[in-house]
Amino acid sequence: MADAITDLEMNAEAATGPSLSYWQLVRKRFRGNRYGMAGLIMSILIIITAVFAGFIAPYAVDTKDRATIYSPPQTIRIFDEDGSLRAPFVAGFEEVMDPITFEITFAPSYDKTTPISLFVQGPEYTFLGMEFTTHLFGAADGSFVHLLGTDGLGRDVFSRMIYGARITLLMGFMVMGLACVIGTIVGVTSGYFGGRTDTVIQRVIEFVKSFPDLPLYLALVAVLPRNIDPITSFIMFALIIVLLQWANLARELRGKVIAIRSVEFVRAAVAVGAKDNRIITRHIIPNMSSHIIVWATYVLPEVILLESFLSFLGVGIQQPLVSWGVMLNAVRDFQSLASAPWLLAPVGMIILSVLAFNALGDGMRDAMDPYAND
């Protein structure tokens, strides 16, 4: 009889496959979500771009090409003027004036071309405390190549945009991490202990959430001293954003903790005399990890948009630090936008990053839903 039961169990397992843990099911569901996988791949590429910005960007953020102020983007070409195939290169520009409107435009000039090479030597940059001079691409002869044009000071827009990804993403991940830690601690404390502790914490959260976000951000940033160094200003700006971001997570987790603390395994742990710290760290928080992860993937693009918007207004990250919002600050007037529309290139990176992290968040949400179909 025992052998028959064992054979039935083995046949059932062979038919349905081995049982999977929760996180194995999450990985399986996520791999089957094309939208989420696309977001994951794009998010990884954006993060890699930020980490290896010194290698990918051909020039430093403050490198100036005085001869090409407000120069338009240079397209990489493989066909010469006569249609013959050649190695990748960029063509120069010549200024053309409209005889009626006197508007100056730029036309490609094949009189002076610059070959494009991979792994060229350029300005020094630091990575992990070591100095390097090798860049992904550039001109082997040391001349300038501006794939996205230059700004009003002759600085390469592409290089500044790549370096800007580092500051913008650093701000996003810093705010996301601090908000997750604070929101988790406050939310779990409020929901688990209840009573007067819960009442006090909830009143504090209601007080924080009673202020309109944008005016409060502007007011807090306005009181920051302008004579502090950029790094201190960056940290204080991040803390200001954290100030209002943690409250949403704390309130959401409080409700989940109230539901989890009444389930059988938590009540059993209390019955056998387990300490509060053990119950919280071994039973409460692990059962809310999926919600925290999904919340983090959604708050990251929100912080990217907020930082870019405030820096665009001139009240966020300050120069000489470069972020996507700081770059957009240079095109606030219509004259600059009309004469150099390529300065809006960081908008494309902002949109791409927000879409990528939102797609990742949607995929994580669907994968971690216990009621989702396999």
Count of other CB atoms within 10 angstroms of residue 249: 22
| Reported confidence tier of residue 135, pLDDT bands at 50, 70, 90 | very high
Between 13 and 326, the more confident residue is 326
Between 312 and 225, the more confident residue is 312
Distance CA 270, CA 289 (A): 21
pTM of the model: 0.85
Alpha-carbon separation of residue 338 from 104, 153, 316, 329, 346 (angstroms): 12, 17, 25, 15, 16
pLDDT at position 41: 95
Distance CA 229, CA 257 (A): 42
pLDDT at position 94: 76
Distance CA 166, CA 50 (A): 4
Distance CA 327, CA 314 (A): 10
| Reported confidence tier of residue 304, pLDDT bands at 50, 70, 90 | very high
Distance of CA 354 to the CA centre of its chain: 7
Mean residue pLDDT of the chain comes to: 84
pLDDT at position 136: 92
Q: Is pLDDT at 25 greater than 60 in this prediction?
A: yes
Q: Which of 99, 97, 145, 152 has the alpha carbon at shortest distance from 122? A: 145
Q: Are 330 and 314 in contact (CB under 8 A)?
A: no
Give pLDDT tens digits for 92-121.
Answer: 877 777 677 666 677 777 778 888 999 999
Q: Which of 46, 113, 122 has the alpha carbon at shortest distance from 76? A: 113
Average pLDDT over residues 199-213: 87
Q: Are 55 and 127 in contact (CB under 8 A)?
A: yes
Q: Is pLDDT at 224 greater than 60 in this prediction?
A: yes
Distance CA 168, CA 351 (A): 13
Q: Is pLDDT at 21 greater than 70 in this prediction?
A: yes
pLDDT at position 3: 46
Average pLDDT over residues 22-47: 90
Distance CA 322, CA 99 (A): 39
Between 274 and 352, the more confident residue is 352
Most confident range, picked from 36-40, 280-284, 369-373 = 36-40
Q: Is pLDDT at 2 greater than 60 in this prediction?
A: no
Q: Which residues pair with 138 in a beta bridge?
A: 117
Between 9 and 21, the more confident residue is 21
pLDDT at position 6: 44
Q: Is pLDDT at 244 greater than 50 in this prediction?
A: yes
Average pLDDT over residues 27-40: 90
pLDDT at position 341: 85
Most confident range, picked from 209-218, 261-270, 296-305, 323-332 = 296-305
267: exposed, middle or buried (C-beta count within 10 Å: 0-12, 13-18, 19+)?
exposed
Contacts of 161 (CB under 8 A, 6+ apart): 148, 324, 327, 345, 346, 349
Between 215 and 89, the more confident residue is 89
Q: Please give the share of the chain, as a percent, with pLDDT higher than 90.
A: 30
